[in-house]
Structure 1
């Protein structure tokens, strides 16, 4: 009975990720079937239909800018500092919790520092 809790947790995470993608693919499939039937009958496509088909098309990703890298670095650094502060705060009740949490906090903190360094290295590039 106790195994149902973790199974339910992971099933919900999977459902939250998979369900929207599945329903979006069904919607696109229905639209494509309708367009295929209209084209086979020789009917012209209205501009609204063509616009609806191209609304979800994402443009090519641009290269990361230095401001985006700086923003990402500050966020990661903040997460690391917050986790370290949690370790310090928990050390008042549980002294053994300090070093593991500070060690775990080092990972996002160093990722943030790396992004900040990259943002300064990419300032000259446009």
Structure 2
């Protein structure tokens, strides 16, 4: 059995997506584990912990979503949906198919965007001004 492009291309696509997502997550967790081991060793030896180390460990802690973040995310998702819809419309218009199959796919990010925008109105957390 010979593996042609009809098998290799989809497998390579999914492998690339997995590599783009998984490799940075793995490297970040490995770096964090090394930082914690170094911090643990310093505490065991009685060394003072510099504030820079504490800041580095707490820098990536997720903060609760705010109204502005929800609104921004909603606008981005809505724009993606509109972009997919326009690409479908003009692609089918130019090629003369007229079936507009991509509108169903365009609805998914558009509805997510609308949900984020609606959530931004109900979110009690306000953006912190620095």
TM-score norm. by structure 2 comes to 0.69
Matched with 2:47 is: 43
Structure 2 unaligned regions, length at least 5: 125-130
Deviations 1:91-114 (A, max 9, x none): 1xxxxx321xx1322442586378
Which of 79, 82, 85 is the aligned partner of 1:77?
82
Structure 1 unaligned regions, length at least 5: 92-96
My pick for the range that moved more, 78-87 or 26-35, is 78-87
| 1:9–1:27 Cα change, 3 Å | same
Matched with 1:98 is: 98
Matched with 2:12 is: 8
Deviations 1:19-39 (A, max 9, x none): 000010110000000011111
Give the CA deviation at 1:81.
2.3
C-alpha distance in 1 between matches for 2:39 and 2:60: 17
C-alpha distance in 2 between matches for 1:60 and 1:6: 37
C-alpha distance in 2 between matches for 1:18 and 1:45: 31
Matched with 1:89 is: 94
Give the CA deviation at 1:41.
1.2
TM-score norm. by structure 1 comes to 0.70
Computing the radius of gyration over CA atoms, which structure comes out larger, 1 or 2? 1
| 1:83–1:54 Cα change, 3 Å | same
Which of 45, 61, 65 is the aligned partner of 2:65?
61
Give the CA deviation at 1:117.
9.2
Which of 15, 21, 25 is the aligned partner of 1:21?
25
Aligned pairs, how many?
118
Aligned Cα RMSD in Å? 3.2
